[in-house]
Amino acid sequence: MATSGQVSVKRGEVQSFPAAVLDEVIEAAGVREVRYRRLPARLMMVFTLACWLFMRSGYGLVLSRLADAQALTGGGWGDWQAPGTGSITKAKAKLGAEPFKLLFARTTVPAGTPVTPGVFHAGLRVVTVDGFTLDVPDTAANEGFFGRGGNGSRSQNPYPQLRALVLAESGTRVLLAAAHGPSSTGEQTLAVDLLPALDSGMLVLADRNFASWKLWQAAAGTGAQLCWRMSASFTLPVRQVLDDGTYLSQLNPPSKKDGDPIPVRVVEYSVTTTDTHGVETSELFALATTLLDAQAYPAIELAQLYHARWQAETGIADLKTTIRGGPEVLLRSKTPIMVEQEFWAMLCVYQAIRDLIGYATPAGLDPGRISFKRAFQAAQDSTTRAALSPQPT
């Protein structure tokens, strides 16, 4: 177990992706090799996942880390010899992205319990929607598919970018769904792909980028409760002021033919910050929520809950910094389909690290006390000790 943020992993304690599971997703994706090769599908899945544990290492070195592990001797490797980088690249391409997408789908299970700090509020599982971008290699194929997006000025980004959106469980930061697309894809468009992961036992937090009548209607239609920050451009008419200072309002559709106004409760408050020069800045927040009962769901608790969504941003930072290796590190792949493979494999590794943290956290304690970086390092160490055979069983 963990103390002071430390993570200890013994061989066999944690195995997020056992061989049987890898074989199942390989079969489901239809990429099982017809006959035995030096780089069969299962080995290439493990290798592709391992590439995210050793992002700054070349293909040959990553494969050597797996082949040189003591646990591999006598595990079916025999006189196996590693092929060249070209053969590795071709074998990865034969896998495609689908088996990793299917593998990620198997990990999208809520991990928090009622005693896990930050996971539940008023009996509802708290989840957060948040987005990020990833730079990909500057090839004609990647630029044509992903585009370069914008960086807040008239110039474009120096590299093509993949835009991604995730649904994360509060408290554990485990991912429950993900979607991606070209850099030009709007977050509200990607959010539609996350809706199937919502249910009536959830409370969904989202920032003002997601504020729209159409998306709100679709998200509320899943049965989930919502608490979203609204943009200043949204008109929120005061219909009834409640005792706690919040008020009942409505989200109006773009036009009458789109549907009826949606009743909401609005929580307004200001947050004042002071910079290093002593200058104060105030920012107004307007949260719209489906939780209309002011007594059951106090305004102060909803405001505090919304600002706890930084945990999702922390999870994204772990993805982009610890796993990717830093903001300056590009993905490896030069074609869109292989970028997609990398994307899903990255999320699988992230989930495995969260699984490890969950294992190392005693019941009732905050998983955030465990250092993601130290858990990642533990996973690196355990990878080279994991039992693995290159041959299918």
296-336 pLDDT per residue, tens: 999 999 999 998 887 778 888 898 889 988 878 899 999 99
Q: Is residue 322 part of a domain?
A: no
Residue 7 lies in a domain: no
- Of 35-44, 64-73, 147-156, 377-386, highest mean pLDDT: 35-44
DSSP state of 265: E
Give the β-pairing of 202-206 and 124-135: parallel
Average pLDDT on 72-84 reads 57
Distance CA 181, CA 350 (A): 19
Does a structural domain hold residue 375? yes
Q: Which residues contact 306 (CB under 8 A, 6 or more apart)?
A: 205, 227, 229, 285, 287
Measure the CA dihedral 30/36/41/47, to 10°.
180
pTM of the model: 0.89
C-alpha neighbours within 13 Å on the C-beta side of residue 355? 18
Res 77: pLDDT: 52
Tell me which residue range forms the domain holding 80.
19-105+334-383
Is residue 49 situated within a structural domain? yes
Q: What is the pLDDT of residue 305?
A: 94
Residue 61 domain-assigned (yes or no): yes
How many residues in the chain? 393
When pLDDT is averaged across residues 340-346 and rounded to a whole number, the result is 97
Q: Band of the pLDDT at 1, cuts 50, 70, 90?
A: very low
Whole-number pLDDT of residue 393:
45
End-to-end CA distance of the chain: 33
Specify the 3-state DSSP secondary structure of 163.
Answer: strand
Cα–Cα distance for residue pair 268/222, rounded to 1 Å: 26
**Position 338 in a domain:** yes
d(CA 329, CA 325): 6
In a domain, 370, yes or no: yes
Q: State pLDDT tens for residues 363-390.
A: 778 888 888 999 998 888 877 655 444 4
The total of other beta-carbon atoms located within 10 Å of residue 172's CB is: 25
With respect to residue 369, please indicate whether it lies within any of the assigned structural domains.
Answer: yes
Paired tokens of 148: 């370069």
Domain count along the chain = 1
